[in-house]
Amino acid sequence: MAPSHPARVPAKRRQVPSQIVFYSYPKYVYTWPVIFLAALFPLLGDLINPQVEGWIFVITLLTVLMAMGFDLTRNLTISWGVTIIATVFALLWLKDAKNVVVFSQIGHHLASQNPLISKGWFYLFALFGGILYLIMFIDVHINQRWRISHNEIEHFAMLSKDDSLGRGAKRFITSYPDFLELLLCGAGTIQIYSAQGGILLRSIPNVPWLFFRSARISQILESTEVAPAGGEEDVDLHEGQASDEELGGGHGG
């Protein structure tokens, strides 16, 4: 009698999400570091020197303002970095070889400043800044909700009008136009082009954590399977673990 073999269980097919939900934020979303520091410093009491607190806050505020006011592309960021490093070495050389001390005097003047900020000021900044942040968050979830499914691209706006595009043959590009926005929120832009790629149909800026969600976006865009009614899985870009696969280029639709 031939030995019996256990029935082979077919491998479970990985479920492909049928739609992706994400939100497009205004640039105020990048202010979270200064609001966080303003709320944190009063809680720390005297653990950190007040002058150090002031310098940390000033440098963080300048970084946030640069993120909101400039578009530092990768090449521009590298150029700025090289320029700053070269300038520092040039100033050191001028000081030692040519005895030019005007720049070192400016540096000493800035270092001698005492940017003290009161705990009350930090508290008020965190309170009102946090309230504005909450208002922004609620407004975004009401009026800036986007959904990409196998069949269409939808924009939901309760206080204006909804918008919809047929999924069809579209070209999707995820890009990261600003290095500081990427650094602060992992944020990027989703651009939707016509099938030939010549006409920009939609541009969705300031999508947080897009850098960590690119693989999931690729998965839904590259899939052609339409899930049966009632079997759709809603994938929110604000949830889930960060994927190991990172995508910074274009997606074919």
The pLDDT-based confidence of 20 (bands split at 50, 70, 90) is confident
The residue that leads in pLDDT, 115 or 102, is 115
Identify the pLDDT of residue 102. Answer: 65
Alpha-carbon distance 59 to 50, whole Å?
14
Is residue 91 over pLDDT 80? no
Q: Where are the alpha helices (DSSP H) in the chain?
A: 32-44, 50-69, 74-97, 102-111, 119-143, 179-185, 210-222
Identify the pLDDT of residue 166. Answer: 67
The overall average pLDDT reported for the chain is 76
In whole angstroms, how far apart are CA 148 and each of 19, 23, 88, 89? Answer: 5, 11, 48, 50
Percent of the chain scored above 70 by pLDDT? 66
Is residue 124 over pLDDT 60? yes
Is residue 145 over pLDDT 50? yes
Instruction: Express each pLDDT in 192-225 by its tens digit.
Output: 888 776 788 888 899 998 877 777 777 776 664 4
Domain ranges of the chain: 19-26+145-252, 30-136
CATH 1.25.40 fits 19-26+145-252, yes or no: no
The pLDDT-based confidence of 185 (bands split at 50, 70, 90) is very high
